Amino acid sequence: MLNRIFGLETEYGLLIHEDHPDHSPTWFAHKIRDHLFHVQRRGVLDLHHRGHDEPPGNGGFLTNAGRIYLDMGHLEYASPECHSLTDIVASDRAGDRLLQQAIEDLGFSDRVSLIKNNIDHETDATFGSHENYLVSRRFPFSRRGMAPLVAFLVTRQIFTGSGRVGSAGPQDAWIQMDRLIIPRVAMGAGAGASLPFQISQRADYIVNDFFEWVQHNRAIVNTRDEPLADPNQYRRIHLLLGDSNMTEFATALKLGTTGLVLQLIEEGHAPHDLEISEPVEALQEISQDQERQWLVQLHSQKTISALDIQEQFLDSAVQHCKGQDEETDWVLTQWEAVLRDLRGDYQKLVGRVDWASKLWLLECYRDAENLDWHAPMLKSLDLEYHNLNQTKGLYYGLLEEGRVPRLTTDTFIQLAMDQAPKNTRAHGRSELVKHLIGSWSGAGFDQAANSERLFPPYVINWSIFQVRDRAPFPMPDPFKTYVEDVRTHLQSVTA
């Protein structure tokens, strides 16, 4: 798409199928990571401290230029930088496949499942699906400038949500009121009684509209200024509120529509007068609305539906973006179709929208078994929708039945497991990772990891790397591949 770099970060749940397990989820996560890097040789582990919570060996870059690492015990996959929706969907699915194949190779398939969702029904914990969008440094990064973005994000869950059974308890978090930081519970905020079903998994856990840090103060828009690129030219919009999607369609539409709204804001064409009065409350009310009317109140005191807000953004995007490239036109066409179908029977969306697909499956099961919404089995089925094991996951059952449209192919995903996109700097980083893998045997990596920790043989970050005894190699432009420059640099290292 036009002037856009996309990235996704996915944290996975890990479900143990044993009443009295000998090992914790974190133990299995370590085994999966180590198998990927030490046995399958899918990438190179970090040999340096990335932070106080990321010691050497915690994770590393892959041959496809993405990263796999552990975050607070969760396996997490960060996609490489992608310049097209096709690439980001394939790269996202490549992370799923890499981790699931490692489980199968280790013989863990009957013992554990990787769950690509965002909630733990037992502990009320949440884990994220973070979105990254590159924008110009001139992007109006202020409350007023981002008001249209917030209005779009609060309401897009009607087609991006993954759905869940029940609701989360009140969140222990702090919010800013004028110049004071006060506990959110003091404002009377938090989820109410348990709900049968809601359309978003993350909505209950978002407690601020804007905030810099991520844990316990998850915001609609994360304000940390970390561009991972030339800070004079770029800013990275980092979003925490989205659900992990199983359908390729929902992933592409989520990223594509958000990218177009960012373009409208950058170019001064975003619709006006849609500022939502209480964005966090509106986010949760839309998700929890059992009648699916999805009404919100604007600062103007006007009441409007989420569908109406989305249609205003769509109209602006059609007027100002239509025809600029093939992917944009696909997004506009599908955006219009989904909004039209949302005004009718939700079952029209099965296979395209995750919450609708899950709700249909759960309703079919409830009818067949004559169950109410409090039946424990429904939470188990909720999780099974997200199971990455293709022989068990309910999403894959829909796919096998031909109910799910594909945007990629299995062959393309297989390539994305090993290869980086060829039109971003991920290509150059992939070249580096493959060079490093070929430079040492497995034993060589172990020796490098266990000796000279203060001076590791390589250090890799998103926008720069350094190989021992050579100058740092910056890669500040995500749109540039750097591949020939990297090859030349590595040849000089070898010489």
Show which residues are catalytic. Answer: 71
Contact assessment for residue 479 and residue 421, using Cβ atoms and an 8 Å cutoff: no
Q: Which two tokens stand for residue 1?
A: 């798409």
Amino acid letter, 10: T
Q: Which two tokens stand for residue 413?
A: 């995903």
Q: How many residues does the chain have?
A: 495
> How many Å apart are CA 476 and CA 234, to the nearest integer?
9
Q: Which two tokens stand for residue 451?
A: 């000796």
Phi-psi region of 70 (alpha: psi -120 to 50; beta: other; left: phi over 0): beta
Contact assessment for residue 431 and residue 489, using Cβ atoms and an 8 Å cutoff: no
> How many Å apart are CA 392 and CA 118, to the nearest integer?
19
**For 139-155, b where at least 16 C-beta lie within 10 A, e where not — what string?**
bbbeeeebbbbbbbbbb
> How many Å apart are CA 164 and CA 270, to the nearest integer?
31
Phi, psi dihedrals of residue 249, rounded to the nearest 5°: -60, -50
Question: Bridge-partner residues for 181, per DSSP?
Answer: 176
Contact assessment for residue 121 and residue 43, using Cβ atoms and an 8 Å cutoff: no
